[in-house]
């Protein structure tokens, strides 16, 4: 193998690889029972915790819980932890996480810029479609005048008129698509601002798929020992915000600052990157079999 000039930088390559791994790791598959922290919760032995359910014989009620797989760690002594207890523990932990006022203001400015840019783009595309529709309508009117004056054959008129009508219908569909896409911007911005202003409240009110998206961009994993979270591994982007002092960590009962795992930051993230991350929240879950 010879030496070649790289097409992209190593940093960009590592970033792309990381994003692809995250997408593969958090695919939402069809399951009989789904668990919020599936893929996030890890045993202290290193194995991933899996969700399971048990039926109590006395009352036939189902009890849901997480437990260590012990596939590659058969000597692991960690016990199961109830699903509600662990998920509630993580939810309560988010009470102690918040963004600084400076960061919130920057996101607000970014949101304004995002909306303004979207409006300008929509206006430009709409105006282009309006111009094309006007030209086609003028062409159709001339065609009709030619038919009335007897200057064009009927078959030719029908063929050209049908082509113009089809083009006008296509432009109308494009206009409706632009209107629909434009209407998605405000809910996206609203959800983004709600999250940065109050992570805990927004997370608590979100449905499970959206909760998993929030966790996906904040945390890599939670390490569990003795039915407690003993280590929190943030994602590179959230770790960058921590190092940039854009995140406030307060501790009520949990030694949260000690829980976060410090590691080398390999990626650089800007506010535009943050916008891109939140922009992905509008995506629908991907189902695989």
Report the distance separating Cα 110 and Cα 128, nearest Å.
27
Section 66-80 average pLDDT: 85
Let me know: does 37 contact 222? Beta carbons within 8 Å. Answer: yes
Per-residue pLDDT of 74-123, as tens digits, reads 888 888 899 999 999 999 988 888 888 888 888 888 888 878 887 888 88
pLDDT at position 139 is 93
0.85 surpassed by pTM: no
pLDDT at position 27 is 47
Per-residue pLDDT of 147-197, as tens digits, reads 898 898 989 999 999 999 999 999 999 998 888 776 656 777 788 888 888
Report the distance separating Cα 223 and Cα 41, nearest Å.
6
Residues sharing a CB contact under 8 Å with residue 5, sequence separation 6 or more, in sequence order? none
Is the pLDDT at 282 greater than 70, yes or no? no
**Domains of the chain by residue range:** 10-102+198-281
Per-residue pLDDT of 233-262, as tens digits, reads 888 888 888 777 777 766 544 444 455 554
User: Does 62 or 187 have the greater pLDDT score?
Assistant: 62
User: Does 18 or 160 have the greater pLDDT score?
Assistant: 160
Let me know: does 185 contact 4? Beta carbons within 8 Å. Answer: no
Here the tokens at position 19 are: 């994003």
Residue found by looking up tokens 């997480």 in the block: 66
Is the pLDDT at 64 greater than 60, yes or no? yes
- Tell me the DSSP string of 97-109: EEE-HHHHHHHHH
pLDDT at position 266 is 36
Nearest to 214 by CA among 232, 246, 191, 180: 191
User: Does 89 or 271 have the greater pLDDT score?
Assistant: 89
Let me know: does 18 contact 273? Beta carbons within 8 Å. Answer: no
- Tell me the DSSP string of 14-46: HHHHHHHHHHHHT-----SS--TTTTTEEETTS
pLDDT at position 261 is 53
């Amino acid at each position: 193998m010879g030496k070649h000039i790289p097409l992209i930088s190593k940093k960009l390559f590592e970033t792309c690889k990381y994003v692809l791994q995250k997408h593969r790791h958090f695919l939402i598959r069809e399951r009989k029972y789904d668990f919020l922290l599936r893929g996030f919760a890890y045993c202290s032995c290193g194995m991933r915790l899996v969700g399971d359910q048990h039926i109590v014989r006395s009352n036939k009620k189902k009890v849901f819980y997480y437990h260590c797989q012990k596939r590659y760690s058969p000597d692991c002594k960690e016990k199961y932890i109830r699903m509600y207890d662990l998920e509630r523990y993580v939810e309560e932990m988010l009470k102690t996480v918040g963004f600084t006022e400076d960061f919130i203001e920057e996101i607000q400015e970014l949101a304004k810029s995002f909306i303004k840019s979207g409006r300008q783009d929509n206006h430009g595309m709409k105006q282009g479609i309006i111009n094309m529709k006007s030209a086609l309508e003028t062409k159709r009117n001339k065609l009709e005048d030619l038919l009335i004056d007897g200057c064009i054959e009927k078959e030719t008129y029908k063929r050209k008129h049908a082509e113009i009508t089809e083009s006008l219908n296509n432009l109308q569909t494009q206009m409706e698509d632009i209107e629909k896409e434009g209407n998605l911007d405000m809910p996206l911005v609203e959800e983004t601002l709600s999250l940065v202003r109050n992570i805990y409240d927004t997370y608590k009110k979100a449905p499970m798929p959206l909760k998993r998206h929030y966790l996906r961009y904040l945390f890599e994993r939670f390490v569990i020992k003795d039915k407690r979270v003993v280590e929190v591994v943030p994602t590179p982007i959230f770790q960058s915000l921590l190092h940039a002092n854009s995140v406030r960590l307060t501790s009520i009962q949990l030694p949260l600052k000690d829980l976060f795992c410090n590691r080398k930051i390999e990626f650089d993230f800007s506010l535009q990157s943050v916008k891109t991350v939140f922009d992905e929240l509008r995506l629908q879950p991907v189902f695989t079999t």
